[in-house]
Chain A
Amino acid sequence: DAGVTQSPTHLIKTRGQQVTLRCSPKSGHDTVSWYQQALGQGPQFIFQYYEEEERQRGNFPDRFSGHQFPNYSSELNVNALLLGDSALYLCASTPVTRNRAGANVLTFGAGSRLTVL
């Protein structure tokens, strides 16, 4: 059973460009969250998708947008890249459960390492 898969694993962009990162959740998971992890820091919540809609959003500008598809996979798009967007972008999926503890059990992918030059 594959866990959370992300692509690409590494990419390099220049300032002003746009990037799309992709995530396939773990089998049986319906909710996808995206986190940004700068070097030496803990992950920061970007947003969460459930039933193809953005349900919660962290403190990130509108340059960060996303999408969830009917098969629960998700994309993260970042426009007008800045040097400060260089980070590891983590996708995490959550199981189809509505109990309090289960709602926050995240399975993370290995991440996409974005470098902006």
Chain B
Amino acid sequence: TQLLEQSPQFLSIQEGENLTVYCNSSSVFSSLQWYRQEPGEGPVLLVTVVTGGEVKKLKRLTFQFGDARKDSSLHITAAQPGDTGLYLCAGARGSARQLTFGSGTQLTVLP
């Protein structure tokens, strides 16, 4: 059973378009992270959100943690080909130092 559901699973868009990726769960997480993974590489941390309702911006990327700390979204403005990759959300529960990952969203930005 996947505790974190990501949608969409695949997304192919043109350069310059906006997009939103969703990460949903029925469980509460103490913190939630977003990673990007490129072929042949391990996931690279983009952001960590810990407070319900928190919004963080990283250049053209905006991350939001749901008020109940059960869901999160990643919004990319004016996508570029360099944004192409597998986007993964991952949640931590309580004091556990392990992460539960979603199944990922494969984003392709076409020039």
Given contacts A42-B104, A101-B31, contact A48 B98 (CB under 8 A): yes
Residues of B close to A105: CB separation below 8 A: 45, 48
Q: Which of A25-52 contact B (CB under 8 A)?
A: 31, 33, 35, 40-45, 48
Q: How large is the interface on B (under 10, 10 to 19, 20 to 34, 35 or more residues)?
A: 20 to 34
Q: Which residue of A lies closest to B30 (CB)?
A: A100
Residues of A close to B99: CB separation below 8 A: 43, 45, 104, 106
17 contacts between A and B (CB under 8 A): A4-B42, A41-B104, A42-B103, A43-B43, A43-B88, A43-B99, A56-B96, A56-B98, A92-B42, A100-B31, A100-B50, A101-B48, A103-B97, A104-B92, A104-B97, A106-B45, A106-B99
Known: A4-B42, A56-B97. 19 other contacts (CB 8 A): A33-B97, A42-B90, A42-B103, A42-B104, A43-B101, A45-B99, A56-B98, A58-B98, A94-B97, A100-B30, A100-B31, A101-B31, A104-B33, A104-B48, A104-B92, A104-B97, A106-B45, A106-B99, A108-B44
